[in-house]
Amino acid sequence: MTNEGHVHPTQDDAVVATLSESVGGPVGQHAGRGRWWTPVRVILAMAALTCALGMVQKAPCISGEPSSQNFRYSHMCYSDLPPLYTLRGLVQHEWPFSDDEQVRARYEVMEYPVGIAYWAWGTSWVTHVLNGSPDLDERSRQSVGELSGTDSVRREVEIFTWVNAVGFAALALLAAWLLSKVNPRRPWDAAIFALSPTLALTGLINWDLMAVALVAGALVAWSRDRPVLTGILIGLGAATSSIRCSCSAAS
């Protein structure tokens, strides 16, 4: 334990203590503390590194070029974002839950909760701006299959995915920061999330990091004895979670 009451991981966790042998061993009783590299900043750096690795790992499937399912799975780089950009009408900046008959005849309804739909719709607008605000009327005269094969849309698919990736990285950093605040004496516990292989391998598959950040906030609220805020954040997390069940299959 440090002078400030923090529990040092090398003194409390046998696994971390063993791993620390490669860099000098567990912290000593008279060890000083760096002025810049505080536990929270180290955790944020860990989370940023993990997110960067995740982006590199997903890069082969985010070129905008068509690829086979076997390629996506053999390279473990599948993401829902590239196909849904076109298939859910974001390519024309259509509202995912629009009840317009022409829109619904052309595109399927967004199958995710409204929180995800708002995010996806907003990032599609950013994508269009970054790609020079394409002519959407002209796109409406093309079939969805034709749209998917155009160079402009392929470029937008890549932009859309990377715009979301930057947003997801910000959410991951927020979640890591919040988790470090759950127990002020044990900020290092958040490293379990920040260095998680799951974050690197699945963070870009879908929009789930929205729910992760909200639930991390709920944990902080609960640790501060604020049950109402905890419930609100959990509810918002449910509104941004892609986990869903098939009622027809259950019946």
What's the pLDDT at 246? 40
User: What is the rounded CA–CA span in Å between residue 2 and residue 187?
Assistant: 13
- Provide the residue ranges of all domains of the chain, joining segments of one domain with +: 36-243
Q: What is the pTM of this model?
A: 0.83
pLDDT tens digits for range 99-134? 888 888 888 888 888 889 999 999 999 999 998 888
Helix H, strand E, coil C: the string for the chain is CCCCCCCCHHHHCHHHHHHHHHHCCCCCCCCCCCCCCCHHHHHHHHHHHHHHHHHHHHHHHCCCCCCCHHHHHHCCCCCCHHHHHHHCCHHHCCCCCCCCHHHHHHCCCCCCCHHHHHHHHHHHHHHHHHCCCCCHHHHHCCCHHHHHCCHHHHHHHHHHHHHHHHHHHHHHHHHHHHHHHHCCCCHHHHHHHHCCHHHHHHCCCCCCHHHHHHHHHHHHHHHCCCHHHHHHHHHHHHCCCCCCCCHHHHC
User: What is the rounded CA–CA span in Å between residue 196 and residue 43?
Assistant: 12
pLDDT tens digits for range 182-233? 988 888 889 999 999 999 999 999 999 999 999 999 999 999 999 999 999 9
Q: What phi and psi, each to the nearest 5 degrees, are found at residue 94? A: -80, 145
